[in-house]
Amino acid sequence: MPRPLAFLIALALGLMAVGSAGIALPLDDIRFTLDLSRDHAEVRLTLNDARDKGRKGDHHSSSDYPVSDLAGLKPDWARGGPVSFALVRDAGRVDCAGTARAAHAEGTCRFTADRGLSDLLAASGMARPTEEEAYAMTLIGVRRALLDALIAGHYPMPGIDDFIAMSAVGVTPDFLRELAATGYARLEPEQLIQMAALRIDPAFIRGFERIGYKNLPVETLVQLRALDVTPQFVELVRRDSMGDLSIDQLVKLKVIGFRPAAAAH
């Protein structure tokens, strides 16, 4: 499998969340539905473009939240009656109001961007987000702490789309610190997105260091993870008396479906 194809297949799975939140809804025409989860521990909030209701290919954002994440939502909302709540995040807030009946609620929402975060993004050299971008950042849960960590760590400043993607796949201040501790600091936004999407963490990196593969380039780590070439796989290959192989040789074995004999025991 070619390297770009292997990466794109794996990364697509990690970025699925971006697609649902990155839609450009008319922000004065948002409808919501609210439903209890099966175990009643969370609620599922779905936001739709009101104009798309009933159309084929309706675009929406749907996520599960603890009741405590929706400010103002009463614990007994599912009994019925008027319902109001707000999803409040660093990038903005979505205020919703409607009616509940039989553990299901629906109504309308309005979005308000957080001017403070928008000002900080513009001052950082990134860009001032459009209202649609601020809405996407709110749904994804972009945190101001990530911007602070990028600035403090002297990382190349991402564009708005990459900043959203970084948050969607799990690039956090802790993730940056952990990577930096293994020698991977000040990476490009695309590299951070790839590593987070594929769950390339210190344990994975140190696993390869432990068996003699040190200072691997980011693109090599991405290729290895995308193809599921793990330190454990390498050790099993060695038990087959194949010796120390190069990264390219290990990748070729994985691509052709080689299965170490030791893996059967």
Domain boundary among 113, 146, 161: 113
Task: Provide the token pair at 166.
Answer: 């970084």
- 101 lies in the same domain as 120: no
Angle made by CA atoms 57, 58, 59, in degrees to the nearest 5: 110
Residue 171 DSSP SS3: coil
Q: Is residue 11 part of a domain?
A: no
What is the count of structural domains for the chain?
A: 3
Per-residue pLDDT for 20 more than 70? no
Q: Is residue 233 part of a domain?
A: yes
Angle made by CA atoms 245, 2, 221, in degrees to the nearest 5: 55
- 194 lies in the same domain as 227: no
Domain boundary among 50, 78, 113: 113
pLDDT of residue 35: 96
Give residue 248's domain range.
206-264
Task: Provide the token pair at 155.
Answer: 């990382």
Sort strands 92-101 and 104-113 into parallel, antiparallel or unpaired: antiparallel
pLDDT of residue 49: 72
- 156 lies in the same domain as 128: yes
- 35 lies in the same domain as 72: yes
pLDDT per position as a tens digit, 57-98: 445 788 999 999 999 999 999 999 999 999 999 999 999 999
Task: Provide the token pair at 15.
Answer: 């970025």
- 194 lies in the same domain as 119: yes
- 133 lies in the same domain as 149: yes
pLDDT of residue 21: 41
- Give the whole-angstrom CA distance, residue 240 versus residue 39: 48
pLDDT per position as a tens digit, 122-173: 999 999 999 999 999 999 999 999 999 999 999 999 999 999 999 999 999 9
List C-alpha distances in Å: 123 to 14, 135, 196.
Answer: 30, 19, 26
- 183 lies in the same domain as 168: yes
Beta carbons within 8 Å of 29's beta carbon, 6+ residues apart: 49, 50, 51
pLDDT of residue 5: 42
Q: Is residue 88 part of a domain?
A: yes
- Residue 100: CB atoms within 10 A of its CB come to 21
Residues found in the chain: 265
| Residue whose structure tokens are 């390869």 | 208
- 94 lies in the same domain as 119: no
pLDDT of residue 230: 95
- 170 lies in the same domain as 216: no
- 125 lies in the same domain as 164: yes
- 186 lies in the same domain as 236: no
* Out of 37-41, 93-97, 201-205, least confident range: 37-41
Q: What is the mean pLDDT of the chain?
A: 87
